[in-house]
Structure 1
Amino acid sequence: MKRQVMAAAMGMMAAIGIPEKTQAYDIDCAIMLCMAGGFPPSAVCARAYSTMIRRITPWPSLPPFGVCTFAHVPVELGGPGGEGELDTNLPEYEWLNRTHVIWFTGSSYDTNEDGRVWSWSVKSCDRENRTCTYIQRARRESRSWPDSFVSQSGQVIELPTRRRSGEFSMRSIMVEYGDYEGNMGHSEWFAY
């Protein structure tokens, strides 16, 4: 009798179907929401952070995130069911507009005439990597790059450290972001 009841229950579940768990937002929304909170510790925010870093580390890099498409999520899945995109020009998304991708390149080598020379640059780009500005750059200097720089948002950010002697070159990238309260933060440097 127990087998018949169990078989009947399994048959009903197969016929009706078990609903799958569905996220009410995509990874771009998760990145934006977690970034606004300073990437608090959670499984969703850890995945969002790693996805953002994975997007910015190849060359050419991708924007750290796309447009949050939460507006397209159906009402039955917890969304508004609309057709439009998120308008990031609204005052409540000012934190999002402070997001920058920061690029660092540095090299050092010996020359016959000048001895050891250093070249480096720090470049800041908007979140879509379209508009970029050099914050610092030097070519063939007799000294190494500084320990830190001041970002466009006023943060003092330490530059990557040199781990090698002799001739070398390095490239690193990071994301600077602001949370919804106006506090600025940044990811670590990622060499690529």
Structure 2
Amino acid sequence: MNSLRAAAAVAATAVSVSIAAPAAAYPVDCAILLCLAGSWPASAECAHARAVFIARITPWPVEPPLQIWNCPMRASLNREKAPMERLFEIALRDEVGALPQSPGGSHPELYLAQDRADVDISDPAYDFVRSIHVFQIEYRRHRNRDGDCNTWSTVREGTYGEQGDFAWARSTPARVPPASAFRPGTSCSDYWFRGVFVDWTDYEGTYGFEEVRY
């Protein structure tokens, strides 16, 4: 939807990435969420968000590229607003650190969830979060002096659950998407590959990927 792409561009442009701790973790993950949904629109903030997204999959260690639990999507006094509207509100505040306060001076609804979004994101509108897949690939193959073909590989796959929780699981070379530069082929020629591959689809279903060799 073009309106979401435009909104993401405007919102991401408005995100400040230089506010003081402890809120410093919020804007970059809100920006990643918005910019990813909008297919990384051109802006300094989206460029920074994408750089962080890629840096997180650059060893070592390999981290979840989107850490949605660091984006306070509940930080709104209007409980009737949809989560994405709340997110736009967070990103579009004139001063990111100036959250609405209760008479007692606290920030109602502002807290970080533990390894998952702090609101329900099971709606299909958030499928772009669950579309993110991370593959950490190590593969070696060579023929020894006796003519035997020796192959060693370890692949793990990182996926996002219904509420944005991230988990690693063992995987196989066959699961690595064709967009990766990983091309072992079927012969027994010497081959070595080590890298981290991440792919996703944005809110409109457009495919994207990045790969870091090391």
Structure 1-normalised TM-score? Answer: 0.62
Q: Which of residues 186, 191, 200 in structure 2 aligns to 1:177? A: 200
1:113 to 142, 146, 152: 146
CA-to-partner distance for each residue in 1:52-107, whole Å, 9 max, x for gaps? 11112123311112122243359774788451524322221111111111222221
Secondary structure of residue in 2 paired with 1:71: coil
Q: CA deviation at 1:51?
A: 0.5
Structure 1 residues 22, 116: CA separation in 2 closer, same or farther (over 3 Å shift)? closer
Task: Tell me what 1:56 maps to.
Answer: 57
* Mapping for residues 34-113 of structure 1, pairs under 5 Å: 34-67=35-68, 68-72=71-75, 73=90, 77=95, 81=100, 83=109, 85-113=118-146
CA distance in 1, matches of 2:146, 2:172: 29
For the pair shown, the structure with the greater C-alpha radius of gyration is: 1
Q: State the aligned residue count.
A: 153
CA distance in structure 1 between the partners assigned to 2:171 and 2:29 by the alignment: 27
Q: 1:174 to 1:86 in 2, by over 3 A?
A: farther
Contact 2:137 2:194 (8 Å CA) reproduced: yes
Find the aligned partners of 2:154 and 2:206 in 1 and give their Cα distance: 26
Q: Is the 8 A contact 1:122 1:135 kept in 2?
A: yes
1:24-53 Cα distance to aligned partner (Å, 9 max, x none): 960001111111122233211111111011
Give the TM-score, by structure 2 length: 0.57
| Structure 1 residues 50 and 136, CA gap change in structure 2 (3 angstroms) | same
Aligned identity (percent) is 27
Match of 2:34? Answer: 33
What is the alpha-carbon root mean square deviation over aligned residues?
A: 3.4
1:173: Cα distance to partner?
A: 0.6
Whole-angstrom distance in 2 between the partners of 1:71 and 1:86: 7
Deviation, 1:161, is 6.2
Distance 1:169 1:136, change over 3 A: closer
Q: From the superposition, tell whether residues 130 and 150 of structure 1 become closer, same or farther in structure 2 (CA, over 3 Å).
A: closer
Higher strand share: 1
Could you tell me which runs of 5 or more consecutive residues in structure 1 were left unpaired when the two chains were aligned: 1-20, 138-148
What is the deviation of 1:115? 4.7
Alignment of 1:103-182 (within 5 A): 103-115=136-148, 117-120=150-153, 122-127=155-160, 129-136=166-173, 151=177, 156-160=178-182, 169-182=192-205
